[in-house]
Each structure stands twice: as structure tokens, then as C-alpha cells.
Structure 1
């Protein structure tokens, strides 16, 4: 009887302690579930036959991620006191079209999976993450790196997911100082006895005063290492990027230069520019043009152009329509859409996509 009573009192004490700790944790930390679902109807006047390299004819299909990558994730922070916070993010690409993995490195939580610390001195993250080079490309794209008709097509066409999703990476991002902010990232290849295999590093420095943005970044990555994924993320390449943007009220104009020197493939220069304009708070239109040329053989070149519009039905839901055209010469195979038309054929291809996007 005494023993039973002691256990009852002990369980009550433990329960009260757990409730108290749960209350403290709830007050100091938070976890958020978020996501984006995007699906569209794609039409292209030509389609690449991957077996023959020739035109397979017109296509009309439902695709995932017609304007932005479908995804879901968990992110959270914990206040450690003194201005220091712990953070984490787990983000997975999904396909609305078939329920499988979407735009990612091909793994569960293959978009981002990291833990970190953040304070007034900057931010440190460890794990799978986006490179400073890719984030610079995103900032300098007038179409927000749409998955249709933007610099994202040229990026993925050149190096797949390398530099987008970096495994085994450690990064530091500085605080903003007089408009300047810098980022560095180092990804370890992890191969015993060969530190160079799979090693990747990247850096970015940009200035942003709210009106003018100037951005410069580079990326250097080796093939191999232990970070192999279903979607290639260790293509051997050296990348550079330089660009600027300027805001005139609701209008933002952008221009950029990028270089992709890929081992065993093209050494491409990409010149791009365009504009984004909010006609009203709920109607956004944008357009861009990119000229890509192979420095080793100028007969290999392409021109990609696209315009698009988005109408916000609510804070979470929008509908969109986009039209693009690409012209390939020589061995260049630039496409129009990451899903369904990543690679194109010689000559001119016209395409369009209409769809719906929902945030949660």
C-alpha cells in the first residue's frame, strides 16, 4: 500500500515536471509545417526524342511545378537566450502529378535538411542546403527562377542539381552591414584518402539598399565523393555570376552574366535580363531573355525568352499563364520547362503553361 502510494506520488511529480518543461519549450521554440503545390498544363510545339535527338512532335501534358517547385517541409527555431537561436529545416520535393518525389536531389527531404545557429553575428548551418551561388542566381532572375522559361532551365540543363542541393555542407552568412552581406559554403566530399573528391565550395557578396542590388558569386565543385544522390549533385564545374537589379516603385529590372565551365561539356556564357512589374497588388507580370553561347564553339548557342502573368486569388492561391520561345543552334539543347521539356531540339520551339499554385 505504501509502495503503491509512493509510485502514485512519483508519477504525479513526473507528470507535473513534464508539463512544466513542455510549457517552457512551447514558450521558447516553434515548429512550422509549410508547403507549396503547383500543377500546370504544358504545351510545346516540339519535343526532344531522347533516343534519337530529333523532334518527336508536339506535346500536351499535365506537369508538376509549372511555375515553382512543389514541396513541403518542417522548420523550427528555439530561443537559446542572449540573442542566440537554434534552427532546423527539413524540406522535401513532391510531385503533384504522380505523388512521387519532385524537384530535389531525389531523396526524401532532398531539398534541404540542416541544423544551425543564428545570432546578431550571423548564421551557421550544417547539412543539405542551397549554395550561395544558386541563391545569387535566384536573386538576379527577373522571373523569380520560374520552372518554365527562366534561367533555372539553363542552370539545370548545364549542371543538373549541382550547386542547388549541396550535401555534407557547412555555411556561414554574415549579418547585413551597411547594406552588404556575404555568404560562404564548404561541402566535404567525405571520401577517405581523397579530400578533393566531391568537394564543393561557394561564396557570394551582395549589396542591397532596398532599391539597388549588386551581386557577385562563384561556385567550384568536384565530381565524386560520398554525396552521390539519385539526381546528380556532384557535376564537376566552375561557375561565376555577376548582376544587378534596380527598383522603380512597382517595377524591378534585372541584368546578369553567368558562366558555367563544365568538365567534359560546354563552357557556356549566359547573358540575361528582364523585368517584373506589379500592375496591382494582386496582378504580377514579368519577362526575361537569356542568350547562351559555348565559348569553345560559338556555333553552339541559344536564345530563350518568356513572359508570364500571375493573379492572386488570395494570399495562398494564385493562377498563372506563361509563354516562352527558345531557339537552339549547333549542339545546344536548351528547353522550356524543368518538368516535361528540360531539353530542346535544334531550331525554334514555342511553348506555354497555365496552372494553379497554392501555399500552405
Structure 2
């Protein structure tokens, strides 16, 4: 009997020690508000919407200390719609936002496998866009970050540690087409420097459009440079992207929003200038101008002006308002959306509340 009790005590102590080395966190964002869209062929739309500023989500992430500065890491994240309680995608993908597992070292960086953000998207979101891909003013409306440009499935991603302000990332997404290793393959990378008030980064993405049956579709290429500089009273942002080839600029919105079919450009560039400025201890103003320059014969250019305001009610809860307008030219058909929706017209207004946990 004593031996049994001792064995149970030892087992319990060992289990507790192992558990103490692991850390699992449940987290999420709840974002809901009112969105009014104008200018589309279907007419004006006013609705309760979810995820205008930040996509609503619930996630699980964790680490396990393996010793010697090495840790096992994982993340599972799914999107949800606060307006009706459904998943925010129409597929059967449960963890549609991120799903990966990997290893992380304090000195060597991290290596992860699964569904993950592209370095191109992270660079524009974290460095170049004052709206951080959210609100009506999101850079998603004109920059090529839709579809596979946002996240890759079947991706192997390496991220370096911070070395005197320098960081790097490399992403390789396997196409998994039998007999053709290059078909549907996607490769990306980024290099950044963040020190003091200066934050600057470059990123690259290439997508092979060949499939199991089509072998002449070609490759789409994207090259991006983004930067911001914090003057304390105002932070200034800038970004420039060159997009060349098939699917180098996938549309974020519907192709028929204005009653005609709009085809994405295969030769374009995108430029952004913007700012964010604190106007009180809890309030921040954001503004940006984006120009889409179509270099094809049709010359379907577009310009977007946007302004927004975020007010922090606490560390976890904030309220916001934003407005953006796009001017399409020569038959262009870009729409004003937000972080979670593509939009239906050339103008949109957001008023919402966001809480994180």
C-alpha cells in the first residue's frame, strides 16, 4: 500500500513538472459594428458586420520548453462572425486562419510547418499600412494581398531571431501536384530592420500558376518595400509594390461590383503614403492615400483616400470609426472593403467596437 502511494506521488510530481514546462493560451478578438457601403451596382448596403477593424477569431497557441533554449510551438486559429455566429469562410476548413507546429530557438530562430501568413502580407500589414489591414482604409482594397497572397497552406516557414534590429523570413509552400514539384508552388521572403523610430522592410512573393493539367500559365511576381518612421507626434508610413504576371494582383472584391466584368491586371504597381497620430492619451487618427497604377493598355487605375479614428476604452477594448473612397478609372472595378469583407461599392463607412481576450 505504501509503495503504491509513493508511486502515485512520484508520478503526480513528475506530471506537474512536465506540465509546468508547457504553456497553452486561449485568445481571441470580438469585433462588431455598423458598415454602410455605397456606389455599387446592387445599390446601397447598410449592415451589422463582423471584423471591420480586426477579423473576429478564437485561437489556441502554446509552447513547450525542450531545454537548451529550444521550444516546441503551435498555433490553431479560426475565424468567426460576430453578427451571426457562423465561421467566416464558406469552406469546410476549421482552422482557416492559421494552423502550424514547429520549433523555436532563442539563438537560431523558428521553423514552422502548416497554414501561415506570407512574408509579403506581414510586411505590408506590420510596416507599410497605417490601418494595419483593417477598417475601410485597409491596403487590401488596392494592394495585391487577396487569396493566396495572404496565407499559404502546406508552408514551411523560417524566421530568424532579431540580430541588432535585423530580421528575416523565408516561406516555401509546396504545390503537392503529383509529378510536378513546381506546379502551384509559392515562394516568399522578407528582410527587415527595426531600430528606434525607423522600421523598414522589403518582401518578395512568387506564385507558379501551373496546375496538374496546365503547364504554361507562368509565374506571378511581387516585390514590396515598406517603411514607417515615428516622429512621436506623428508616425509616417510608405509602401510601394511592383506586380507582374498572371495572378500577381488577385482581386480582393467582386469582379462585377459595378455591373460589368473587371479583370485583374497582370502588370501594375501600388503606392501608399499614410500617417497615424495620437490626438489624446487614448485616441489615434489614421489616414492614407493609395494609388493603383495599371500598366496594361486598358490603364485601369484607381485611387483611394481613407481616414479613421480609434479610441481605446481600456487595454483590451476600443471603439472606432473609419471612411474610405475609391476613384476607379477606365473601367477599373475596385471596391472599399475592410479587414474581413471585400465590399460592394466605391465608398464605405465603419462604426464599431473591438474587444480582445
TM bracket (short chain): 0.7 to 0.9
CA shift in 2, pair 1:103/1:310, >3 Å: farther
Summarize the alignment of residues 187-198 of structure 1 with structure 2, pairs less than 5 Å apart.
187-198=173-184
Distance in 2 between residues matched to 1:79 and 1:358, nearest whole Å: 30
The 3-state SS of whatever aligns with 1:356 is strand
Contact in 2 for aligned 1:203/1:219 (Cα 8 Å): yes
Pairwise CA distance, 1:73 = 0.2
* CA distance in 2 between partners of 1:340 and 1:88 (Å): 24
Contact 2:52–2:339 (Cα < 8 Å) also in 1:
yes
Please give the alpha-carbon distance, in whole angstroms, between the structure 2 residues aligned to 1:15 and 1:110. 42
Q: C-alpha distance in 2, partners of 1:288/1:35?
A: 28
Match 2:242 to one of 244, 248, 259: 259
Q: Counterparts in 2 of 1:215-226, with a 5 A limit?
A: 215-223=201-209
Would you say the 8 A contact 1:46–1:57 is kept in 2?
A: yes
Contact 2:209 2:246 in 1 (8 A): no
User: Which residue, 10, 16, 20 being the options, matches 2:9?
Assistant: 16
- TM-align CA RMSD: 2.4
* TM-score calculated relative to the size of structure 1: 0.86
1:131 aligned onto 2:112: no
How far apart, in 1, do the equivalents of 2:189 and 2:166 lie?
14
Check the 8 A contact 1:188/1:200 in 2, yes or no.
yes
2:98 is equivalent to residue 112 of structure 1? yes
Q: 1:358 is matched with which residue?
A: 355
Deviations 1:229-286 (A, max 9, x none): xxxxxx9632110122111114210111012335164122111010011223311111
Q: CA deviation at 1:175?
A: 1.5
Select the residue among 139, 152, 155 that pairs with 1:151.
139
Unaligned runs of 5+ in 2: 213-217, 248-263
Residue 314 of structure 1 corresponds to 314
Query: What SS does the aligned partner of 2:87 have?
Result: coil
Aligned length: 333
Alignment-derived partner of residue 165 in structure 2: 179
TM-score, with length taken from structure 2 = 0.86
Does 2:113 align with 1:141? no
Contact 1:334–1:342 under 8 Å retained in 2: no
- Tell me the distance in 1 between the aligned counterparts of 2:103 and 2:339: 35
- Residues 23 and 287 (structure 1), Cα distance of their counterparts in 2 relative to 1, 3 Å cut: same
1:162 is paired with a residue of what secondary structure? helix
Match of 1:94 among 63, 69, 80: 80
Deviations 1:189-234 (A, max 9, x none): 11110111221110101111121122111101123669xxxxxxxx
Q: What is the distance in 1 between the residues matched to 2:47 and 2:219?
A: 33
Choose 159-168 or 109-118, whichever is displaced more.
Answer: 159-168
Superposed, 1:1-360 pairs within 5 Å as 10=4, 12=5, 15-47=8-40, 55-102=41-88, 107-119=93-105, 120-138=107-125, 139-155=127-143, 158=144, 160-223=146-209, 237-263=220-246, 265-266=264-265, 267-297=267-297, 299-338=299-338, 342=342, 349-360=346-357
Shift of 1:178: 2.3
Alignment CA distance shift 1:199-1:105 (3 Å): farther
Give the unaligned 5+ runs of structure 1: 48-54, 227-234
Rounded Cα–Cα distance in structure 2 between residues aligned with 1:340 and 1:252: 25
Residues 140 and 243 in structure 1, CA contact (< 8 A), matched pair in contact too: yes
Deviates more, 1:329-338 or 1:284-293: 329-338
Once the 2 structures are TM-superposed, how far is the Cα of residue 13 of structure 1 from its aligned partner?
Answer: 5.6
